[in-house]
Structure 1
Amino acid sequence: MMNRRIWAATAAAWLALSAGLPMTAAAAEETPDALVKRVSADVLETIRKDPSLKTGDVARIGALVDKMVMPHVNFQRMTAAAVGPQWRQATPEQKQRLQAEFKSLLIRTYAGAVAQVNDQTVVVKPMRAAAGDKDVLVRTEVRGKGDPIQLDYRLEQSADGAWRIYNLNVLGVWLVETYRSQFAQEVNARGIDGLIQALSSRNKG
């Protein structure tokens, strides 16, 4: 079970995706490490200044993600990877439901941890990538009280040239793989509709 410091770092990571401005031509030319550095700094400042975010207001966090997160994330790829092979057999309607319920689950999971974000700073480590790479790893550390927290991002370059995140790693634990193991049990037992129903129930709880 992740402790509060790790949840806080994960919350900062998720919300960091929602701190950027809508996609522009300049943003499309931004390097992946520069993108992570910019939005990470922006979100920490946003959390500090917004009392409703600091209280873990699910509706406020949800509105923020709905408005600004999607330009920086390939959320369909993230959901598909979490669901696993059965994603290919899902209908378009089922895929939409899965994405909506997964997003709600992430928002609810991390909402309470936002209150733990105080004086953290994010340090982006030198990136190891060759020119022309379309899939890269950006490593960062969240520094504050206590030991630094490892926080890494997997990004891909889309056809429009923009970099989009599709996975997060907190202290060696990848978000997508963590949920994949949970989702697989439900899908194997009850199918895609069973997973949707299970997520919906968790989100209403």
Structure 2
Amino acid sequence: MTRRSFSLMPFYRLMSLVISGLVLCLSVSMANAADVPSPDKLIQSLFTEVNERVQKDHSKIEADKTYLITIGNEVLLPYVSFETMAKQILGKNWRKITPEQRSRYTDAFRNRVSVSLVSQYDPQKRYDLEVTGSRMNSKGDRAAVNSVVTEASGTNKYNISYKLFVDRKAGNWKVYDVVVEGISVLQSFKTASAEDFKRNGIEYMISQLESSDASAELNAKANSKAQ
């Protein structure tokens, strides 16, 4: 088991930050599942990489918090399957919408996660990560990695599990779910979206994700800082 420190907010408050932390270490090239390093080994080096990038671009982040989105686009996007997330969240309703709506929903979901990451990020917070175990399926193309995240003060601990699969077309691991204290992020979204789809339809759901609320929050914080 390996322990690492990182300057990120509690995982239980923001799934996007969990995902961003996880996938930073997954930039490995793989021809097939046999070439994939052990997922727990990847997790062990993950938070060090997070710190290195955040520290490297600290001045840019300090000047403009939304620069975190740029970092996310550069290092996270290839290693998170937002399409798989969106498909599982919508479930059977995925087949009821057009390819254009699927693309717009996926993009809106990804962008909302990015904005949430930026709005909640606090560089002053510090936590420890301990990888407590991992397992793979018999084919070696799906994995779950368990960890415990502890506040530096030692007052709170959070059990976090990460689910990944090997995207053979892209040639790398991709995150598709995070389980926080036994609660699946995807399942939580799926339960809420089923009723929303039934009552309001996909266009309403997309518009809600694309709403300016989160962006307005970021702009308000940026303006406050500038004054």
Residues 133 and 29 (structure 1), Cα distance of their counterparts in 2 relative to 1, 3 Å cut? closer
- For the residue of structure 2 that corresponds to 1:138, the secondary structure is strand
Change in CA separation of 1:203 and 1:80 when aligned onto 2, cut-off 3 Å: farther
Of 174-183 and 4-13, the range deviating more from structure 2: 4-13
Partner of 1:148: 157
Deviation at 1:69, TM superposition (A): 1.1
* TM superposition shift of 1:154: 0.6
Gaps of 5+ in 1: none
* d(CA) in 1 for partners of 2:168, 2:31: 15
Q: Which stretch has the larger CA shift, 29-38 or 43-52?
A: 43-52
3-state SS in 2 of match to 1:124 = strand
The structure 2 residue matched to 1:178, chosen from 188, 192, 199, is 188
Alignment check: 8 A CA contact 2:12 2:158 kept: no
Matched residues in 2 for 1:18 and 1:6: separation? 14
TM-score normalised over the length of structure 2: 0.74
Structure 1 outlier segments of 4+, above 6 Å: none
Q: How does 1:1-205 map to 2 (within 5 A)?
A: 5-7=10-12, 10=15, 12-17=17-22, 19-20=24-25, 22-25=27-30, 29-48=36-55, 50-51=57-58, 52-53=60-61, 57=65, 59-115=66-122, 118-129=125-136, 131-143=138-150, 144-145=152-153, 146-159=155-168, 162-201=172-211, 202-205=213-216
RMSD: 2.9
- For residues 163 and 61 of structure 1, the distance between their equivalents in structure 2, rounded to whole angstroms, comes to 22
Q: Partner letter of residue 15 of structure 1?
A: S
Alpha carbons 1:41, 1:122 under 8 Å: kept: no
Q: Which amino acid aligns with 2:47?
A: S
8 Å Cα contact 1:17/1:69 also seen in 2: no
Unaligned 5+ runs, structure 2: 1-8, 217-227
Note closer, same or farther for the CA distance 1:39–1:5 as it changes in structure 2 (3 Å cut): closer
- Higher mean alpha-carbon deviation, 152-161 vs 85-94, is at 152-161
How much has 1:117 moved relative to structure 2? 5.7
What is the TM-score with the length of structure 1 in the denominator? Answer: 0.81
Note if contact 1:79-1:102 (Cα within 8 Å) is conserved in structure 2: yes
Change beyond 3 A, Cα 1:195–1:90: same
CA distance in 2, matches of 1:21, 1:152: 16
Give the % identical residues. 20
1:142–1:150 contact (8 Å) kept in structure 2: yes
* Contact 2:23 2:174 survives alignment (8 Å): no
Shift of 1:156: 1.1
Structure showing greater radius of gyration is 2
The 1:66/1:18 distance shift into structure 2, 3 A limit, reads farther
Alpha carbons 1:17, 1:73 under 8 Å: kept: no
Secondary structure (helix, strand or coil) at the match of 1:30 reads coil
Aligned to 2:139, the other structure's residue is in SS state coil
Q: Provide the aligned length of Structure 1 versus Structure 2.
A: 201
Question: Structure 1: how far apart are the matches of 2:63 and 2:186?
Answer: 26
